[in-house]
Amino acid sequence: MNQENCLFCKIVLKKIPSAVVYEGDEVLGFKDVNPQAPVHYLFVPKRHLGSVSQVTTTENPVGLLVLAATHCARELKMDSTGYRLVMNHGHDGGQTVEHLHLHLLGGRSMKWPPG
């Protein structure tokens, strides 16, 4: 279920401290330690899954991550200003932590391509 050497599993288990912004039965949301925007939250499934490429029809927490992120975005009144949701996979996608996570970025203009 949880992997001993996984950073985000340790954050889920509160073995490593984080600034928690959302907690549900299956999802934890916390502030990114190196924020790239005024709002930069990460949403992770409490059960370890390596990345979006490991999502299956039976193991698919992505909808829950999106619901948690949009809930927080709404609370932060970012619905009118806008925000970005990002999932990175693998080397070329820039994934640095191998535990599925959804980034919520907002609080500034972030027109594509990312700057």
Nearer to ligand 5GP, 58 or 96 (CB): 96
Contact letters (x/-) for Zn ion, 96-115, by CB under 5 A?
Answer: ---x----------------
**Which of ligand 5GP, Zn ion, none sits in contact with 73, Cβ below 5 to 8 A by type?**
none
CB of 101 to Zn ion, least distance (A): 9
Residue with the CB atom nearest Zn ion in the bound state: 6
Give the separation between CA 14 and CA 18, rounded to whole angstroms.
8
- Catalytic residue flag (residue 101): yes
Q: How far is the CB of 16 from ligand 5GP (least distance, A)?
A: 6
Dist CA 89 CA 96 (whole Å)? 9
Task: Answer with the entry of ligand 5GP, Zn ion, none that 96 interacts with (C-beta below 5 to 8 A by kind).
Answer: ligand 5GP
Specify whether the CB–CB gap between 29 and 39 falls below 8 A: no
Hey, is 17 helix, strand or coil?
A: coil
86: left (phi over 0), alpha (psi -120 to 50) or beta: beta
Whether residue 41 contacts residue 19, with contact meaning beta carbons closer than 8 Å, is answered with no
Shortest CB 56 distance to ligand 5GP, Å: 21
Residue with structure tokens 């080397």?
91
Q: Which residues bind Zn ion (CB under 5 A)?
A: 3, 6, 8-9, 48, 99
Active site residues: 101
